[in-house]
């Protein structure tokens, strides 16, 4: 309730875009058997991963208020975009094997492999190289921002640290969680493991009928 009006407007737009992109664009691709281009996917992935929503919350958690002029600065836009890409693409790398089992096409490794005719390891290496480039892009933009706006150091430092925390924390969590353990991938083929039964309490004999609804839901690999 104490957030600035421009923050609330931006947060609401990111939240709505996340929900509509996931439920219409991704679901539409599945329904029409469309394989998106890498460029289109990269732009949409920042929304389907809800990472803009999470980055917005840095201001709330740290108790800072970044002026609209900062959000419109090309260096800040670059830093934010690079951080968001890093989180989403790293998720795609770690969830690749699981999503291949599920037949999920909305994964950067899968799309690189599909469009470029690469082998699995080549596609993984390609995305890993792009992740490294996004890291460098973030670090360069970070240095430029701190040099350009010394008077905003008090809010820039925690904001940029929040982005760093998301990038690093996502990697650490992805390496430790059993969610992406290759040995556990087979569990996702079982209908009784669908969200509808385990969370919403749908009876086992109804789980298979409800399972297609899961394809319509926003995805986090």
Neighbours of 70 (CB within 10 A): 17
Whole-number Cα distances in Å, 71 to 49, 99, 153, 179, 195: 20, 34, 15, 34, 37
Query: Which residue in 143, 44, 134, 38 sits closest to 82, CA to CA?
Result: 134
**Each residue's pLDDT tens digit, 24-78:** 999 899 889 899 999 999 999 999 999 999 999 999 999 999 999 999 999 999 9
Query: The tokens 């809800």 sit on which residue?
Result: 50
Please, where are the H alpha helices in the chain? 5-20, 27-32, 38-48, 51-62, 68-71, 74-102, 108-116, 120-148, 153-176, 195-200, 204-210
Query: What is the pTM assigned to this prediction?
Result: 0.82
Residue 172 near residue 154 (C-beta atoms within 8 A): no
Q: What is the mean pLDDT of the chain?
A: 86
Query: The tokens 């005719």 sit on which residue?
Result: 117
Whether the per-residue pLDDT at 103 is higher than 90: the answer is no
Domain ranges of the chain: 5-189, 190-221
Q: What pLDDT, on the 0 to 100 scale, is given for residue 199? A: 46
5-189 has CATH 1.10.600.10 classification: yes
**Each residue's pLDDT tens digit, 119-174:** 999 999 999 999 999 999 999 999 999 999 999 999 999 999 999 999 999 999 99
């Amino acid at each position: 309730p104490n957030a600035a009006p421009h923050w609330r407007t931006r947060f609401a737009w990111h939240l709505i875009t996340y929900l509509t992109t996931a439920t219409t664009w991704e679901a539409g691709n599945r329904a029409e058997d469309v394989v998106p281009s890498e460029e289109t996917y990269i732009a949409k992935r920042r929304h389907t991963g809800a990472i803009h929503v999470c980055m917005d919350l840095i201001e709330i958690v740290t108790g800072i208020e970044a002026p609209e002029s900062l959000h419109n600065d090309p260096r800040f836009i670059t830093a934010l975009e690079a951080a968001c890409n890093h989180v989403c693409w790293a998720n795609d790398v770690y969830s690749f094997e699981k999503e291949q089992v599920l037949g999920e096409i909305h994964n950067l490794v899968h799309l690189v492999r599909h469009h470029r005719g690469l082998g699995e390891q080549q596609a993984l290496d390609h995305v890993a190289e792009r992740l490294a480039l996004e890291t460098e892009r973030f670090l360069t933009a970070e240095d430029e921002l701190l040099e350009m706006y010394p008077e905003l150091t008090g809010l820039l430092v925690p904001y940029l640290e929040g982005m760093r925390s998301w990038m690093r924390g996502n990697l650490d969590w992805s390496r430790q969680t059993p969610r992406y353990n290759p040995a556990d991938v087979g569990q996702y083929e079982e209908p009784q493991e669908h969200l509808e039964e385990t969370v919403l309490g749908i009876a086992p004999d109804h789980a298979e009928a409800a399972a297609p609804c899961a394809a319509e839901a926003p995805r986090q690999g």
